[in-house]
Amino acid sequence: MLNKFSGIAALCVLLACSTNSRADDIQDANKLLKQGQTAQALEKVNAFLANKPKDAQARFLKGLIVNEQGNAAEAIQIFTALTDDYPELPEPYNNLAVLYASQGQYDKAKVSLEMAIRTHPSYATAHENLGDIYAKMASQAYDRALQLDKSNTATQTKLALIRDLFSKSARVAKPVATVVAAAPVTATPAATAPSVSPAASTPVAASGNTKDDVLKATRAWAAAWSAQDSAQYLSFYAPEFNTPNGMERAAWEAQRKERITKPASIEVTLAGTQVTARDAENASVSFNQNYHASHLKTSSHKTLVWVKHGTQWQIVEERSGK
Amino acid sequence: MPRTFYALLLGFCFASAALAEPASREMEAALAKSLQAVGNNHLDVALDEVNALLKSHPNFKLAQLVKGDLLMARAQQIKGFGSAANAPKDQLQDLRDEANARLQRVQQQQPVGIPQYLWKMDDAQRYAVVVDTSKATLYLFENVQGEPKYVTDFYISVGKKGTDKIIEGDKKTPLGVYFIDGHLNDAQLEDLYGNEAFTLDYPNEWDTRQGRNGKGIWLHGTPSDTYSRPPRASNGCVVLGNADLKQLGRHLQIGNTPIIITDQMRWSDAADQAERSELLAAIEQWRKDWASRDTETYLKHYAHDFAVGHTSFTEFAQQKRLVNSGKTWIKVQLAHLSVFPYPKQAGLVVVNFEQDYSSNNLSNRMHKRQYWVKRDGHWKIIYEGAA
């Protein structure tokens, strides 16, 4: 999975951030970005750029912000311009590669990463990402060779923009465990939350029949949701779950938790479930989902893609609509 | 550059177009080169080769698989051929079989001899086709003054369940001597069959006599989503790449080109040539004996189990005796004689000719087909009829 998006801190190390006031402004904007207040962050960084339009650090941060806002095209423009103005910096190349990869433009991503590595041969993040790009390109070729099912999780782009914030070792040879991201923020409240749902004591253990097991897991997932047991609910999602719009896992979990616990009541019922089992470890379920909460009532068509990890079925993808 | 040079070049291309190597051979060579580079641990070379190949033929699935492996090898340790996660095993096996078949085809030498199945081509038959299913290969031979000359060969796929078709639906490709008897164009075909198809006359008289059945055995192309199919893929048809079939098709004559399908190619040798001479002599003797009106000698050319439809040898003999008794003279002339030994069945030969028969009270011309068998060292006719 291509997930090493260079953060602002890494760049800061290289550029030896000059004045305190400047560092403050950038840090503030960075903090706002981390808190998900992208509009305010953008305002701050734009104000800064009005005075110093060439500033690499501010432009870099702006790239991160607009990308967070879902504007990948502008982010690509910003990082591309940075690579033109500061070809000696590997981070803009790296982030450019991540953005290209998220659009499925693996050839361009590969070239960007090679540039990053050329500028800094020991830039571990770029090496890791390059490995991931090769795996992606391999998946594409395998798809064409074997016409693999499009729901095949191995071939999906799962771009989680994880930033190794304040990791001082971004360019050092071996920070292979750069997946710091989720750990401190999330800390799933699984342990403390009392399990309300009678149906779902634990993500369902398998018993032989794939279709039955997946159906059981799907019902348990809906039950956990209805019981507003967010810990239980989130435990159905695999570590490699494809978060919507490539959202950071932690942010997504926080959002889900809020939406599940906030309403006074939730009732999720499923109708017309259809299970397609591709093999003993991969299956998908489609159904009409009726969501009835204290403040909102919706129904939609949904598909959950399940993968069996050990004895547990977990969700790797959740799609709405037909 | 002087103009004449272009003219010469163009002229040359034009003249050699008929015998040009199929483009598929270059593809196969590039694929083999890539696989060999993998073997020599030159992964960059291998990837360059396979990329070049895919540029022109992105739907060459086997090449895509190799590319996938080469890229995956840069990301992680790979398990071996076809390291795709969740790859369906049967599809992988198919592609592995195709890789083996194509590598073999590249590594093997071109045939230098003449197949045993082309004893005599009719002078109107410009080409003959021999399919060796064990090598996933279709060979094209040109009739050069009566001698078959190797022209080129193509990778092919046959039935999912292999060869020696017996009954309808067994997904096997028949082994035998067949003739092209029809053509279907793109508009008449589903995508599965590619751009065109040539129909074969399976089941032939011998198949029917043995109780074999089924129908719709064709040479056809490949669906649009793939460059080629695994060696065993069809329901009994012989499948070529669309470009290959187009090239081959130019040489096929409907109603006349023989397609001999074997599961093991045998090349002609001195002993085979001796057999050939013996049979040609037997055919000539049969003609002479018929014209001589010595009915009993003539009938000795027929096997005791000779049969045409429901007519047994006894009935056939009686009828011949009756007819010949009314003759004062008979003349028999054979033209366009072709003689094709059956694959897999020693001593069985398919003979075709134009028969010009005249006598004091009846004359006719017909296209006749005979099946000759060798019994106790003598060639006998076991079937004869209009073709």
Is the preceding peptide bond at B203 cis, omega within 30 degrees of 0? Answer: yes
Residue A184 has pLDDT above 50, yes or no: no
List CB contacts of A124: < 8 A, sequence separation 6 or more: A170, A171, A172, A173, A174, A175, A176, A178
The average confidence (pLDDT) of chain A is 75
- How does residue B133 score in pLDDT terms, banded at 50, 70 and 90? very high
Compute the nearest-CA separation of B17 from chain A (Å): 32
Q: State the average pLDDT over residues A219-223.
A: 89
Cβ A138–B61 below 8 Å, yes or no?
Answer: no
Beta bridge partners of A185: none
Residue B213 has pLDDT above 70, yes or no: yes
Q: What is the structure's pLDDT at A315?
A: 92
Q: Give which of B298, B286, B296, B266 is closest to B351, Cα–Cα.
A: B286
Give the lowest-confidence range in A91-100, A246-255, B161-170, B238-247.
A246-255
Q: How far apart are CA B199 and CA B189, in angstroms?
A: 12
**Is 0.80 topped by the overall pTM?**
no
* CB B173 within 8 Å of CB B156: no
- How does residue B255 score in pLDDT terms, banded at 50, 70 and 90? very high
> Which of A131, A144, A152 shows the shortest C-beta gap to B74?
A131
Residue B380 has pLDDT above 50, yes or no: yes
Cβ A146–B61 below 8 Å, yes or no?
Answer: yes
- How does residue A74 score in pLDDT terms, banded at 50, 70 and 90? very high
Cβ B58–A131 below 8 Å, yes or no?
Answer: no
Q: Which of A178-187, B69-78, B234-243 has the highest mean pLDDT?
A: B234-243
Cβ B86–A135 below 8 Å, yes or no?
Answer: no
Q: Give which of B258, B90, B231, B126 is closest to B173, Cα–Cα.
A: B231
Residue B45 has pLDDT above 80, yes or no: yes
Q: Which of A20-34, A188-202, B4-18, B272-286 has the highest mean pLDDT?
A: B272-286
The average confidence (pLDDT) of chain B is 90
Residue A195 has pLDDT above 90, yes or no: no
Q: State the average pLDDT over residues A298-313.
A: 84
Q: State the average pLDDT over residues B251-276.
A: 95
For chain A, percent of residues with pLDDT exceeding 70: 74
Cβ B86–A138 below 8 Å, yes or no?
Answer: no
Cβ A137–B71 below 8 Å, yes or no?
Answer: yes
The residue among B284 and A284 whose pLDDT is bigger is: B284
> Which of B59, B74, B84 shows the shortest C-beta gap to A148?
B84
The residue among A188 and A123 whose pLDDT is bigger is: A123
Q: Which residues in chain B touch residue A141, judged by CB atoms under 8 angstroms apart? A: 64-65, 67-68, 71
> Which of A141, A152, A279 shows the shortest C-beta gap to B71?
A141
Give the lowest-confidence range in A203-212, B35-44, B292-301.
A203-212
Residue A198 has pLDDT above 60, yes or no: no
Compute the nearest-CA separation of A258 from chain B (Å): 35
Interior angle at CA B112, CA B123 and CA B142, nearest 5: 20
Q: What is the structure's pLDDT at B151?
A: 92
The residue among A257 and A17 whose pLDDT is bigger is: A257
The structure tokens 């390059």 sit at A130
Q: What is the ipTM of this complex?
A: 0.71
Residue A34 has pLDDT above 50, yes or no: yes
Q: How far apart are CA B28 and CA B46, in angstroms?
A: 14
Region of residue B20 (phi > 0: left; psi between -120 and 50: alpha; otherwise: beta): beta
Could you tell me where the DSSP H helices lie in chain B? Answer: 3-16, 23-39, 43-56, 61-75, 89-107, 205-209, 242-249, 270-291, 295-299, 313-325
- How does residue B16 score in pLDDT terms, banded at 50, 70 and 90? very low
Q: Which residues in chain B touch residue A130, judged by CB atoms under 8 angstroms apart? A: 74
Residue B1 has pLDDT above 50, yes or no: no
Residue B256 has pLDDT above 80, yes or no: yes
Q: What is the structure's pLDDT at A21?
A: 57
Compute the nearest-CA separation of A135 from chain B (Å): 5
Q: What is the structure's pLDDT at A96?
A: 92
Residue in A closest to B90 by C-alpha: A146
* pLDDT tens-digit readout, A157-172: 333 333 432 233 344 3
Q: What is the structure's pLDDT at A200?
A: 31
Interior angle at CA A113, CA A111 and CA A116, nearest 5: 115
Residue type, B119: W
- How does residue B199 score in pLDDT terms, banded at 50, 70 and 90? very high
**Residues on chain A bordering chain B, Cβ-to-Cβ distance under 8 angstroms:** 130-135, 137-142, 144-148, 152, 154, 278-279, 281-282
Q: How far is CA A80 from the centre of its chain?
A: 22
Cβ A146–B88 below 8 Å, yes or no?
Answer: yes
The residue among A10 and B142 whose pLDDT is bigger is: B142
Q: What is the structure's pLDDT at A10?
A: 57
Could you tell me where the DSSP H helices lie in B108-191? Answer: none
To test the contact with chain A by mutation, choose from B47, B72, B76, B227 the residue with the greatest count of A C-beta atoms within 10 A, namely B72
Compute the nearest-CA separation of B169 from chain A (Å): 26
Residue B267 has pLDDT above 90, yes or no: yes
Q: What is the structure's pLDDT at A22?
A: 63
Q: What is the structure's pLDDT at B110?
A: 62
**β-strand B176-184 against B258-262: which pairing, if any?**
antiparallel
Give the lowest-confidence range in A12-21, A37-46, B44-53.
A12-21
